[in-house]
Amino acid sequence: MPKLLQTISELREWRSAQKSRVVLVPTMGALHEGHLELMREARRIAGSDGCVAVSIFVNPLQFGPQEDFARYPRDLESDAGKCQSVGVDVIFAPSAEEMYPADRSIIVLETRLSKILCGASRPGHFDGVCTVVLKLFNLINPHDAVFGKKDYQQLAIIKRMVRDLNVPVKIIGCETVRESDGLAMSSRNRYLNDEERRQAPAIRQALLKAREHWMSGGRNAEVLQKIFTNHLNQFAPLHRLDYIACVDRATLEPLNEKCEAGLMATAVYFGSTRLIDNLEL
């Protein structure tokens, strides 16, 4: 079983003894195959002599007042077993009180990339993400950190934070892991009822339909978005669209017709469950 650390003092003592490469996979727990694939990649990067560290922390700073912080699934024992199955060496699973002093007054503010896509409907979310990730980087001091591309905006923001604040961590993005029907794996998929779960793969199908148009030379963002919404309206009548956007992969600026590295990103509700997905164009 991986070594379990739950306090900052324990973590610092462990880290001071590490002489080999440390690769971090930050998570909020409720681990699924998507997380495990990130850990396998971390194990590959670390090599047989390195160390794979996983953080499991449901970060209150990144949840809005109407979001699902209280009901977010927590099962540390099950998560630890999954970590063991893919060769994780250490788990850092602190409490909120351990991570955030009661009189804390400093956070990390992101002022550009977080104002669009998911950030537009979740004000403050990415400030919470940046704050906790920077704290983890400072505490664990990893050489590398592995993130999934499913939350492409988060990946872009973390890369920007590392660049702008000169954080000496290499950020690695891994492809989204999907269910057999194409639905992106997510801890929130368990909240879908049977009919919502049946319709949810239409998100991926709609993205693929739009990419067919892109591959044939179509570069108009409005047309791409219309193809997406038409498919979703036809095959997922229970959905409620939060957004669909076509952007540049690196800058997240709106797509222009000269862009050769585009991204379609979306957030879709089924009932109160919010699912995100994206597709590189």
- Does one domain contain both 192 and 243? yes
pLDDT band at 256 (very low <50, low <70, confident <90, very high): confident
User: How far is 145 from 172, CA to CA, in rounded Å?
Assistant: 6
Q: What is the pLDDT of residues 171-215, one digit of tens each?
A: 999 999 999 999 999 999 999 999 999 999 999 999 999 999 999
Read off the CATH number of the domain in which 237 is found: 3.30.1300.10
Q: What is the pLDDT of residues 141-170, one digit of tens each?
A: 999 999 999 999 999 999 999 999 999 999
Question: 217 in the Ramachandran plot: left (φ > 0), alpha (ψ -120 to 50) or beta?
Answer: left
For residue 108, tell me if it sits in a domain. Answer: yes
Q: Is it the case that residue 236 has pLDDT exceeding 90?
A: yes
Report the pLDDT value the prediction gives residue 67, as an integer from 0 to 100: 85
Q: Which of 4-8, 67-71, 199-203, 238-242 has the weakest average pLDDT?
A: 67-71
Last residue of a domain, one of 135, 151, 174: 174
- Does one domain contain both 204 and 145? no
- Does one domain contain both 64 and 113? yes
Report the pLDDT value the prediction gives residue 110, as an integer from 0 to 100: 97
- Does one domain contain both 202 and 74? no
Residue type, 136: L
Report the pLDDT value the prediction gives residue 91, as an integer from 0 to 100: 98
Choose the catalytic residue: 32, 35, 143, 213.
35
Count each helix (H run) and each strand (E run) in the chain, helices first.
10, 9
For residue 76, tell me if it sits in a domain. Answer: yes
Q: Is it the case that residue 257 has pLDDT exceeding 90?
A: no
**Helical residues (DSSP H) of 141-273, grouped into ranges:** 152-164, 194-199, 202-215, 221-235
CB contact at 8 A, 19 and 141: no
Report the pLDDT value the prediction gives residue 261, as an integer from 0 to 100: 84
What average pLDDT does range 17-32 have in this prediction? 97
Report the pLDDT value the prediction gives residue 71, as an integer from 0 to 100: 85
Does residue 213 carry a catalytic annotation? no
Total of domains in the chain: 2
Q: Is it the case that residue 243 has pLDDT exceeding 90?
A: yes
- Does one domain contain both 51 and 162? yes
Q: What is the pLDDT of residues 87-124, one digit of tens each?
A: 999 999 999 999 999 999 999 999 999 999 999 999 99
Residue 23's domain comprises 3-174
- Does one domain contain both 205 and 69? no
Question: 115 in the Ramachandran plot: left (φ > 0), alpha (ψ -120 to 50) or beta?
Answer: alpha
Mean pLDDT (the chain) is: 96
For residue 12, tell me if it sits in a domain. Answer: yes
Instruction: Enter the tokens of residue 21.
Output: 């490469």
pLDDT band at 132 (very low <50, low <70, confident <90, very high): very high
For residue 181, tell me if it sits in a domain. Answer: no
- Does one domain contain both 213 and 263? yes
Report the pLDDT value the prediction gives residue 158, as an integer from 0 to 100: 98
